Structure 1
Amino acid sequence: MYDIGTRKRALALVAAGRSLNSVSKETGISRAAIRSWRTRLEPRRRGGGPCPRCRDVPGPPEDPAAYAYLLGLYLGDGCISAHRRGVHFLRIVLDNAWPGIIDACESAMRSVRPDNSVWRVGKQGCVAVTGSSKHWPCLFPQHGPGRKHERAIVLEPWQQAIVDARPWEFVRGLVHSDGCRITNWTTRTVAGARKRYEYPRYFFTNRSDDIRRLYTDALDRVGVEWTTLARGCDPLNISVARKASVALMDVHVGPKH
């Protein structure tokens, strides 16, 4: 059992932008307990706050960094579905192997719609981070019938402005959903002896030509060199393998966690 002061200190670390995973490691308190305390101790405002896109003069979300990251996650592994009374559910499905990404997704979703409910639904091998709001389609106008790779995915001018200003957050969201950092290896003969060399690289794989283009446009913006690798006859994979570009990705994205 923890006293109220301990609970509030843990919540203060989360409110300062720390992930549940890092706060749990620092304090020794489980992520489940901290998540439960947030629900019990934080004031819950009902009805949801005003949507920045529905104002008389539409504006961007109040936290553009969180929005850029969440946009990347949504384009990779997200969907929006209608519920009763005009409410929509945004779901981002993430692998259980990466608890840090799950925490970051939940934090971003809460930052984008702080007055609405966000929760996790456990599934076999994965978690669906879910948020309810009437305004998800306003914030993610790429929502529509059918699969993303079977329809056009184009950012609205206000979204493009956020991505232009926060390209690394957008890239991080895309990599955290449909990308990875791996270690490749090869062998070379040096002085008559066969030696093994290892080198890291980043991959991003998505069936949508438009989403891959959004990813590579953002990479161009931050100075990361990339190449396209075909799977069969389809150019589904974007590779970052040059040493300087991998180093940039390591600083701003890093391995999944």
Structure 2
Amino acid sequence: MAYAHLLGLYLGDGHIVRCRKEVYQLSLFCGDDWPGLIEEAERTMARTMPTSSVSRRQRNGCTEVKSYSKHWVCLFPQHGPGKKHQREITLADWQQEIMEAHPGMFVRGLIHSDGCRGMNRVRHVLSSGVRWYEYPRYHFKNESRDILALCCEALDLLGVAWRFNNRNEVSVARREAVERLDRYVGPKY
């Protein structure tokens, strides 16, 4: 289950770089406004690779959560040169099985890295005046069509209704869908 969560975090805001001969660094970038997310990312990374230490590095407006291992590239075969949205991102068969077994944790990682849960405010002009109402909804935004498709696939597995807001953003706005997704994701903290 930790791996499914880490996979979502990696696909959202992570990358792998080669540091030394056969040693790789996995980095996740978490906004400083979300200290709980930073803690959770660190725990998830440590659970996935318990033989490697996890550290933090303060950056401008964010914290880099990182770990070194020879095996990060084995766990994330999507690793490659360039930006993720400029190359094909497909899951290996074993990764697909993990995602399908734990779609909630996978979506949690995606949304907590490249998404949000917020309030949508709607203004209606009526003959009796202006009426405002608001409701919660989720967004997941990513430039990779492949990563967006994986998010949609996981939402389908959870039975969560979704739609595209625009070409690079998935929205979950129906009340029952938001309530269902709250069980797996919830707001950032």
TM-score category (smaller protein): over 0.9
1:237 to 169, 172, 189: 169
Size of the aligned set, in residue pairs, is 189
Equivalent position amino acid for 1:246 in 2: V
Which stretch of the first structure deviates more once superposed, 114-123 or 186-195? 186-195
| RMSD across aligned positions (CA) | 1.1
Structure with more strand by fraction: 2
Q: Return the offset for 1:250.
A: 1.5
Equivalent position amino acid for 2:181 in 1: M
Equivalent position amino acid for 1:83 in 2: C
| Partners of 2:42 and 2:161 in 1: CA distance | 31
> What does residue 248 of structure 1 align with?
180
> What does residue 106 of structure 1 align with?
42
Which entry has the higher C-alpha Rg, 1 or 2? Answer: 1
After superposing on structure 2, the runs of 4+ consecutive aligned residues of structure 1 that deviate more than 2 Å are 187-191
| Partners of 2:16 and 2:121 in 1: CA distance | 40
Matching of residues 1-257 of structure 1 within 5 Å: 65-189=1-125, 192-230=128-166, 235-257=167-189
| Partners of 1:112 and 1:160 in 2: CA distance | 17
Which runs of 5 or more structure 1 residues have no equivalent in the other structure?
Answer: 1-64
Structure with more helix by fraction: 1
Which runs of 5 or more structure 2 residues have no equivalent in the other structure?
Answer: none
| Partners of 1:166 and 1:66 in 2: CA distance | 9
Normalised TM-score (structure 2): 0.97
Equivalent position amino acid for 1:124 in 2: N
- More RCO (CA 8 Å, sep 6+): 2
| Partners of 1:115 and 1:166 in 2: CA distance | 23
SS at match of 1:116: coil
| Partners of 2:156 and 2:137 in 1: CA distance | 17
Percent identity between the two aligned chains: 49
Normalised TM-score (structure 1): 0.72
| Partners of 1:79 and 1:160 in 2: CA distance | 19
CA deviations on 1:68-111 (whole Å, 9 max, x unpaired) are: 00000000100000011311000001100001111010001000
Q: Return the offset for 1:190.
A: 6.0
Q: Return the offset for 1:187.
A: 2.5
> What does residue 51 of structure 1 align with?
none
Equivalent position amino acid for 1:244 in 2: E
